[in-house]
Structure 1
Amino acid sequence: MAEAAAESGAVPAPEEFSRELPEAPASAGAVFGDRFEQAVRYAELLADAGVRRGLIGPREVPRLWERHLLNCAVLGELLPEGATLCDVGSGAGLPGIPVALVRPDVQITLLEPLLRRTTFLEEVVKELGLDNVTVVRGRAEEMIGTLSVDVVTARAVAPLDRLAGWGLPLLRPYGVMLALKGDSAAQELVEHKAALVKLGAREWSVGTAGEGVLETPTHVVRVKVGESPGGVKAATRRAKAARAGRARAGSAAPRRHR
């Protein structure tokens, strides 16, 4: 039965799990609150379907809670109320889905270019009943001019300048990118300062999330943009897309006959 589910791409039922998850730490209840059971279900899906489909390595299963779910969920404490957020290169839904669980007031777009991953994400969103999450298949550079948010999130999948190149153009003026990074965060800020400025950044810093809750707090690089997120080039592309949209709307409007 599990093999058939794998071939069809369906999310397996709980009784089909073949991998044993470690027990959730006490901090998980404090972080996820009344959505703890949904967090457990997400962990189960990652450990089973996520591993089988190659979205997460099998060696990550024993540390799913500390290294992945909790590490990501605490980003929720850094978000303004009612914000819009895009999780760039969402992959298996990290950090977007844990953040969606702890911050139901935040509207989240999971942006991911690979079909097998967006299929998994759509199944998870439906399974968990996350009505504040939308899954979009595409690359960040394709979304400039069509997607504009208050906050962009990204994990340490690339150097900071590359993450900024993908994420900053999707921000609204004075928006913020939150990148999960390791111990190299401060050094990366020094190395990529020129690239950040070119991309419209005006403020940047390294901070933490989950202090007093997690044994090892999450390191977060915070980059705030000015009036031109992504720099002049991205702003020009955004303006061009807006003009094209207005032109399409105008041509679609019914004409009055005299």
Structure 2
Amino acid sequence: MERPTDAMRELFGLAWAPVEHFAQMLAEEGELRGLIGPHELPRLWTRHLVNSAALAPFLPEDATVADVGSGAGFPGLVLAMMRPDLEMHLIEPMERRTVWLADVVDEVDLDNVVLHHARAEELHKKATFDVVTARAVAAMDKLARWSVPLVRPGGALVALKGRRAAEEVEEAKYVLKKLGIVATEVHEVRPVPDSEATSVVVATKRG
């Protein structure tokens, strides 16, 4: 497995111990439980944990945050560990992944996480959040349809995206407008020096 660097330790700060424990659990069980592929372990820190951390500075203090399609816990669990001030809701439709998320929450002793074994659309008109996060879930137009109805007025969808982030936003502009998004920004972020750049899309909903 990839060895974390001093810069990574600095990035996670007080969250270092739980994040490292989470990484160890993934190394031991991730492939076995169908959460990550065999080729992901050599890049576990850079590709998944550090990448997830890129969202942390974009989340307001003491916010209620819903992570759509949490999967193995990226970025939802990482953000819950880094930001104990957040009330983190993890939305995951697959039962085996929900069981995994619950196992990590218990093992790492996180008290700011609420699990929802559901698809995002099932929570439409039932719940709203200050921020909705997502990573590797769907193209921006589809993601917006699932996620923006969960964002309270004045809140935001904050999504981790790849190199095509700006193009995806452009392709989804009519969908975003229809859903009440009034401003969209694409930020290029490098959480630690020498790490891969990632794109963070912040789509703000009308207040």
Any residues of structure 2 matched to 1:105-184 within 5 Å, and which? 105-184=85-164
- Partner of residue 46, structure 1: 26
Secondary structure of the residue that 2:40 maps to in structure 1? helix
Whichever structure has more strand as a proportion of its residues is: 2
- Of structures 1 and 2, the larger Rg is shown by 1
Cα distance change, pair 76–213 in 1 and its aligned pair in 2 (3 A): farther
Cα distance change, pair 214–220 in 1 and its aligned pair in 2 (3 A): farther
Quote the sequence identity (%). Answer: 45
Secondary structure of the residue that 2:74 maps to in structure 1? coil
Q: Note the C-alpha offset of 1:58.
A: 1.3
- 1:91 maps to which of 63, 71, 88: 71
Any residues of structure 2 matched to 1:66-77 within 5 Å, and which? 66-77=46-57
Secondary structure of the residue that 1:131 maps to in structure 2? coil
- Partner of residue 176, structure 2: 196
Runs of 4+ in 1 over 2 A off after TM superposition: 208-218
Q: Note the C-alpha offset of 1:212.
A: 5.7
Q: Is the 8 A contact 1:27 1:214 kept in 2?
A: no
5+ long unaligned stretches in structure 1: 1-20, 228-258
Q: Note the C-alpha offset of 1:184.
A: 0.3
Cα distance change, pair 213–105 in 1 and its aligned pair in 2 (3 A): farther
Secondary structure of the residue that 1:81 maps to in structure 2? coil
The alignment's TM-score, normalised by the length of structure 2, stands at 0.95
- Partner of residue 36, structure 1: 16
Secondary structure of the residue that 1:120 maps to in structure 2? helix
5+ long unaligned stretches in structure 2: none
- 1:57 maps to which of 27, 37, 45: 37
- Partner of residue 218, structure 1: 198
Cα distance change, pair 43–185 in 1 and its aligned pair in 2 (3 A): same
User: CA offsets per residue over residues 66-95 of structure 1, 9 Å max, x none?
Assistant: 010011013111111101100001001100
Root-mean-square deviation over aligned CA pairs? 1.3
